């Protein structure tokens, strides 16, 4: 599990040095954190100018900006997010919203990774968790509209849900999954990841390769499906598809279905390690040898993939890096490319 690189490092609660009372210029009252007016005073400008200079967008002369910036650095100034939120009516926390049929999706370890990484990346700003019911796409629109929120990271959104987002929410929402013109997408490159897995299976002699997909309604896995189809077409073998929902339970049932419908299947690729582990269980229960009779591969490289028996061949999913990028984009109001894909790495273990 040390393979999981999160980039989380120890940080001061809000980015400032925790009251270490080191050489604090006498500009500010004793013990107090410096405020914007301290900075303004020291720079010899008004708070308004200081505010503009610090929030890159506002108009300000180069010289003023420079003086404010140095003053801020000298004072070790960090803007108070609470005050800023009150003034802008924008909220201090960032919401993680997850689409799914039931609120159980919040239990998914994948969601835990996203939440944790967001909390780490937000470094100070808080995080809250929300379930987006599949049957009520407008919930996302409401969340996006909520000015109490600093932003929202939506995981596994659907097209109808994205459609409910007002244009005004632009820049306040990022997607881990599909995006739109207004919602930048940060996603794992599951097309290439899938291709790598299938090619590996083909290279090791497998020909009758089944795939356990994510839920039908989940659009962000379509690229993986396309890649699967293409790879199989190139090899001249027909697809064998069963839908799952990333849980171990559906991994098991899907496997049973696969082995019933296509008894000669010699490889199973599950779009999610939990499902792959479920497949492993189901096969073992039925006395099918892995990888002798059937090879199994997953996606995500969760910690337990290395612990199963046999160890699970899988593909990394840099969730933490993806989440960090999404959170950073929101928090810094950075101009963001509409779509960013993160590369994966094939991890070979004993199951293939």
Partner DNA sequence: CTGTTAGCGCTTTCAC
Partner DNA sequence: GTGAAAGCGCTAACAG
Where on the chain is the footprint of a second copy (CB under 8 A)?
Answer: 1-2, 4, 6, 8-11, 13-14, 18-19, 80, 82-83, 85-86, 91-96, 103-104, 106-109, 111-113, 115-116, 119-120, 122-131, 133, 139, 142-143, 145-146, 148-149, 247-249, 274, 277-278, 280-281, 284, 303-304, 306-309
21 forms part of the interface with DNA (CB under 7 A): no
B/e letters for 152-179, b = 16+ CB within 10 Å, e = fewer, are bbbbbbbeebbebbeeebebbbbbbbbb
336 forms part of the interface with DNA (CB under 7 A): no
**Site string (40-59) toward DNA, x via CB under 7 A:** ----xxxxxx-xxxxx--xx
54 binds, among DNA, a second copy, none (CB under 5 to 8 A by kind): DNA
- The answer to whether the Cα torsion of 216, 221, 223, 229 is positive or negative is negative
Which residue among 16, 84, 207, 229 contacts DNA (CB under 7 A)? 84
Beta strand residue intervals within the chain, DSSP E: 93-100, 126-133, 149-155, 173-176, 185-188, 209-213, 240-243, 267-270, 295-297, 314-315, 339-342, 346-347
Cβ proximity of 249 and 271 under 8 Å: no
Q: How far is the CB of 165 from DNA (least distance, A)?
A: 21
Contacts of 312 (CB under 8 A, 6+ apart): 273, 276, 277, 280, 296, 297, 298, 305, 306, 349, 351
**CB closer to DNA out of 79 and 141:** 79
79 binds, among DNA, a second copy, none (CB under 5 to 8 A by kind): DNA
Cβ proximity of 211 and 262 under 8 Å: no
Which residue among 60, 254, 277, 279 contacts DNA (CB under 7 A)? 60
* Residue count (the chain): 352
Number of residues that bind DNA (CB under 7 A): 32
Cα distances (Å, whole numbers) of residue 264 to 207, 208, 267, 268: 10, 7, 9, 11
Q: How far is the CB of 32 from DNA (least distance, A)?
A: 6
**CB closer to DNA out of 49 and 336:** 49
Q: How far is the CB of 21 from DNA (least distance, A)?
A: 16
Residues that bind DNA (CB under 7 A): 32-33, 35-37, 44-49, 51-55, 58-61, 63-65, 77, 79-80, 83-84, 86-89
């Amino acid at each position: 599990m040390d393979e999981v690189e999160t980039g989380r490092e120890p940080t001061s609660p809000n980015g400032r040095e925790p009251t270490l009372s080191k050489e604090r210029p006498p500009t500010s009252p004793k013990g107090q954190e410096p405020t914007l007016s301290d900075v303004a005073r020291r720079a010899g400008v008004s708070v308004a100018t200081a505010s503009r200079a610090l929030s890159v967008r506002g108009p300000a002369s180069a010289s003023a900006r420079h003086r404010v910036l140095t003053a801020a650095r000298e004072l070790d100034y960090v803007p108070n997010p609470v005050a800023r939120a009150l003034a802008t009516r924008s909220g201090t926390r960032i919401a993680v919203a997850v689409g799914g049929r039931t609120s159980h999706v919040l239990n998914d370890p994948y969601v835990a990774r996203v939440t944790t990484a967001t909390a780490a990346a937000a470094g100070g700003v808080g995080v809250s968790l929300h379930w987006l019911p599949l049957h009520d796409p407008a919930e996302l629109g409401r969340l996006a509209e909520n000015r109490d929120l600093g932003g929202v990271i939506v995981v596994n959104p659907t097209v109808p849900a994205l459609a409910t987002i007002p244009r005004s929410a632009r820049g306040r929402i990022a997607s881990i999954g599909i995006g739109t013109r207004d919602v930048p997408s940060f996603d794992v490159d599951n097309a290439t990841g899938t291709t790598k897995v299938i090619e590996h299976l083909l290279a090791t002699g497998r020909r009758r390769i089944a795939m356990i997909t994510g839920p039908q309604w989940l659009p962000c896995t379509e690229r993986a499906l396309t890649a699967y189809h293409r790879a199989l077409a190139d090899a001249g073998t027909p697809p064998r598809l069963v839908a799952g929902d990333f849980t171990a339970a559906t991994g098991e049932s899907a496997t049973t279905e696969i082995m019933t419908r296509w008894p000669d299947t010699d490889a199973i690729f599950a779009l999610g390690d939990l499902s792959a582990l479920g497949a492993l269980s189901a096969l073992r229960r039925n006395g099918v040898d892995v990888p002798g009779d059937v090879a199994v591969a997953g996606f995500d490289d969760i910690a337990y993939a290395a612990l199963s028996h046999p160890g699970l061949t899988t593909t990394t999913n840099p969730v933490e890096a993806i989440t960090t990028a999404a959170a950073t984009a929101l928090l810094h109001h950075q101009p963001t490319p509409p779509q960013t894909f993160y590369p994966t790495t094939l991890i070979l273990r004993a199951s293939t």
